Amino acid sequence: MQRVCFLLKVKPELAAEYQARHEAVWPEMLAALSASGWRNYSLFLQPDGLLVGYLETDDFDAALAAMAATEVNARWQAEMARYFEGLDGGAADAGMVALAEVFHLE
């Protein structure tokens, strides 16, 4: 199992709206994430827009590819692109900066 932590940057002026959008994630998006191997997936947002994501999966590259192949992910990414800085209009899932794990308490 891989533990993955990643960073993205939400535009600070859209942080509250971004958070509100995640209070009602589409059921088909949730199902696609689960079916693609995303487990224990969480997002954390600072007021300045720093977004920290965490998930567990058997194979992160395979989980990303499985989501990229879904129609619902394409729709979700298109709607969410405007919230992010530094992606030049690209999809957030393609702009994730994964962090190196340096410690894990078992």
Going along the chain from its start, the domains and CATH numbers come out as 2-98 (3.30.70.100)
Q: How many CA atoms lie within 13 A of 64 on its CB side?
A: 14
Pair of tokens at residue 53: 């994501």
Report the distance separating Cα 22 and Cα 101, nearest Å: 26
Report the distance separating Cα 34 and Cα 8, nearest Å: 21
Active site residue 22: yes
Q: pLDDT by residue (tens digit) across 30-79?
A: 999 999 999 999 999 999 999 999 999 999 999 999 999 999 999 999 99
Query: Which residue is catalytic, options 16, 17, 22, 39?
Result: 22
pTM for the whole thing?
A: 0.90
